[in-house]
Structure 1
Amino acid sequence: MMGNPKRYVVTGLKGQVVQSLLENTKKRSDVEIIALGRPELDLAMPETIAAAVEAARPDLIVSAAAFTGVDQAEIDREVAFTVNATGPAELARVAAALRVPIVHLSTDYVFDGSKSSPYVESDPVAPLGVYGRDKLVGERNVAAATENHAILRTAWVYSPFSRNFLRTVLRIAEAREEVQVVDDQIGNPTSAIDIADAIIAVGQNLLASNDHALRGIFHMAGTGAASWADFADEIFKISAANGGPSARVVRIPTSAYPTPARRPANSQLDCSRLYRRHGIVMPDWRGSTGYVVRRLLEPVDLENRKFGR
């Protein structure tokens, strides 16, 4: 007889990862997702965290919500730090008090991008901006609060949900014949749907075993590398093949698209440790991109050219 489902308490209500977790577990009987967000749980108000999480009776905590506006973090520094560094510290403190594992999502932006090959977990960290620095402090705060943690660094997240690069370029292509896209930043496009699957699997491993090898920092990003321009090209190719909007990609250097926050030129993540310790292989980014694009085009109204919104 199957026991009660494990309760994964996840921070956030509308983010790409929490939406993917909620969808991915609809037909599962072994995992229940409890999403907590404002006003009950507000990472910008860490004093709200303990009571909300404790009331949800977690078997495992997933720290998924974050201040993800990389450029805005350079301006709203106090709020960004509270959400990305102080909030995770409190979540981990609660996890330790409740004696449950915590899975914390982090980012490729903890690296400066100067390495020519994919980053491994032991490579030196050197964030270029406020967002990366705050997320790094968040990692360290989680690790300091409890040993029972898995910190998952991911990158270039997209999905059918919320705002992201894939949805943005499809929307732009409805109105323009060409789109300028940066071609000298390389990374791993990662579907939030794949992230959700990996989080569930990592969580199950943590709950099933006290093995120290299952804890620590792991890289968790889509298999295969691309520039932003490569990513856009693939999105448009799949969209066009399925009757959706497309545009010609004009490849430009980062210098032609200045932003308040610097981005790493290379943010490829080596995910072999995730496979060795947790048995997880992330899907190839092209296949996952195709799935998301086709999903967005399914509700297409060809007469009115509306899709996925």
Structure 2
Amino acid sequence: MSMKHLLLVGVLALLAACSSNAPVIDESLSESELYRKAQTDLDAENFGSAVETLRALEARYPFGRYAEQAQLELIYAYYQNYEPEAATASADSFIRLHPTHPNVDYAYYIRGLASFTRDQGILERFLPLDMTRRDPGAARDSFNDFAQLINRYPNSQYAPDARARMIYLRNLLAAYDVHVGHYYLKRGAYLAAANRGRYVVENYQQTPSVGDGLALMVAGYSRLAMHDLADSALETLKLNYPEHPALVDGKFKHHVEPAVADMDWLEAASVGVIDAVTAPPPRMAQTQMEREMERQYQDAVAALPREIRANTTGEPHRSFWSRITFGLLD
């Protein structure tokens, strides 16, 4: 580990220690004051304080006008505060309690993000790790969460980002199975290696790992003296992936697992979504207060007399006679 990473670890540990004391929420604050304080904390990216404020708002005013919005923003605050388990639990609760809420798709979306980072600590998010070698359980859960979002709400504003992340996750899961296959090869479990390679080929089409899966099949079947199967896999590898590193001058070479530094294909194949995976998720498009202000404005406009309301377009008021004569006699 480089000195830069050691310093980063030290700084983060110090910040975590300094922020261990939860803020005390004033008992005299009203519902609207608590909500405004939570919004201020979120805008300032003070997510720990935002979590405590939103929890206080939810506990003190469970049936208030800001209750549902506070629950949604609490999911976001938990995620940003590196509490993926709490974010997932809050999202599940919101989906169960408010299945027809107009913004329930946001709960599905943040749940997918929380599942992906569930097994990552604060330090692991900043240190260089090969995600294709980690336990894929959280990645599979995240893929399924995003799939639910897309299936239930295909026109959601979060659906395009969810689809891009699913591409990344699918490539990552395929690469993980390739690593497992190489482990089997090293352990002498040649049939298991060949079967894992076949699984990648059959289940992860259109991912960069298909070539590695074919190479695993060639290596495994060759060591088992199953030459017909090995030759078939080799011909398919030559035809579809002539530049694969396992092929040297058209002949199969013992397949060496690619190093982490050589895994740039993952970013290219994921349409650059790796940067998006680490980017903070968007907040709700409008807060509860903004929506209420918009509603009050529309109600006020609707309450105006018809003659005055007609002038809100910015056009000069015209009489009935002027309209039927097309203004020729004005």
Same fold (TM over 0.5): no
Name the structure with the higher strand share. 1
Name the structure with the higher helix share. 2
For Structure 1 versus Structure 2, the TM-score category normalised by the shorter chain is under 0.3
TM-score by length of 2: 0.24
